[in-house]
Amino acid sequence: MSRIGTTFARLQAEGQKAFVAYIMAGDPDMETSLAVMRGLPGAGVDVIELGMPFTDPMADGPTIQYAGQRALAGGQTLERTLEMVRRFREGDTDTPIVLMGYYNPIYSRGVDRFLADAGAAGIDGLIVVDLPPEEDVELCLPARAVGIDFIRLATPTTDDRRLPAVVRNTSGFVYYVSITGITGAAAASAADVAPDVARIKAASGLPVVVGFGISTPQGATEIASVADGCVVGSAIVKLIAEGRPVPQVLEAVAALADGVHAAGARAPAG
E-state strands within 108-248: 125-128, 149-150, 153-154, 174-177, 208-211, 229-232
**Catalytic residue status for 49:** yes
SS3 237: helix
Please report, for residues 83, 169, 208, 209, the alpha-carbon distance to residue 25 in angstroms, rounded to integers and kept in the order given.
10, 27, 24, 21
Question: Residue 189 and residue 226: Cα distance in Å, rounded?
Answer: 10
Q: Which residues pair with 49 in a beta bridge?
A: 22, 98
SS3 15: coil
CB 68 within 8 A of CB 24: yes
Annotated catalytic residue within 27, 46, 49, 228: 49
Question: Residue 150 and residue 174: Cα distance in Å, rounded?
Answer: 9
Annotated catalytic residue within 46, 60, 196, 228: 60
Task: Output the DSSP codes for 30-98.
Answer: HHHHHHHHHHTGGGT-SEEEEE---S--TT--HHHHHHHHHHHHTT--HHHHHHHHHHHHTT-SSS-EE
Question: Residue 232 and residue 220: Cα distance in Å, rounded?
Answer: 8
Radius of gyration (C-alpha) of the chain in whole angstroms: 17
CB 31 within 8 A of CB 76: no
Catalytic residue set? 49, 60
